[in-house]
């Protein structure tokens, strides 16, 4: 029950972090300047905080699946580099948009709670 509360808090933090990051990105593209960039910075920091509450393992598993996809598409000599690059790009996307893996972790916790009861 306590873990469920933590992942729920992480979900709310991740939602706010995603909003700040996306808003900052859009506003910096339109207007430029320091304020939108600092909004993006606060969003990324809040996203990292949301991973401390839960969902970091889910983000790594999702990034691993994306890396395996990139690894299987390209022939042998290039597949190692493609796998590493796709893993790191997906981790960077998950830092900027933390709601994706956090929401998946929340749904997994809900499914586990339903099977226990």
Please state the three-class secondary structure of the chain as a single string: CHHHHHHHHHHHHHHHHHHHHHHHHHHHHHCCCHHHHHHHHHHHHHHHHHHHHCCHHHHHHHHHHHHHHHHHHCCHHHHHHHHHHHHHHHHHHHHHCCHHHHHHHHHHHHHHHHHHC
pLDDT of residue 1: 60
Give pLDDT tens digits for 70-112: 777 777 777 778 888 888 888 888 988 999 899 988 888 888 8
Three-state DSSP class for residue 47: helix
pTM comes to 0.79
What is the residue range of 39's domain? 2-116
pLDDT of residue 18: 93
Total domains in the chain come to 1
């Amino acid at each position: 029950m306590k873990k469920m509360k933590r992942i729920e808090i992480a979900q709310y933090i991740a939602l706010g972090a995603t909003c700040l990051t996306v808003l900052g990105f859009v506003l910096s593209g339109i207007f430029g300047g320091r304020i939108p960039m600092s909004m993006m910075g606060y969003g990324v920091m809040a996203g990292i905080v949301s991973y401390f509450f839960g969902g970091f393992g889910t983000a790594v598993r999702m990034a691993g699946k994306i890396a395996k996809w990139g690894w299987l598409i390209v022939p042998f000599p290039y597949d190692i580099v493609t796998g590493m690059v796709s893993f790191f790009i997906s981790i960077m996307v998950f830092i900027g948009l933390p709601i994706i893996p956090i929401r998946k972790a929340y749904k997994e916790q809900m499914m586990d709670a339903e099977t226990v009861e």
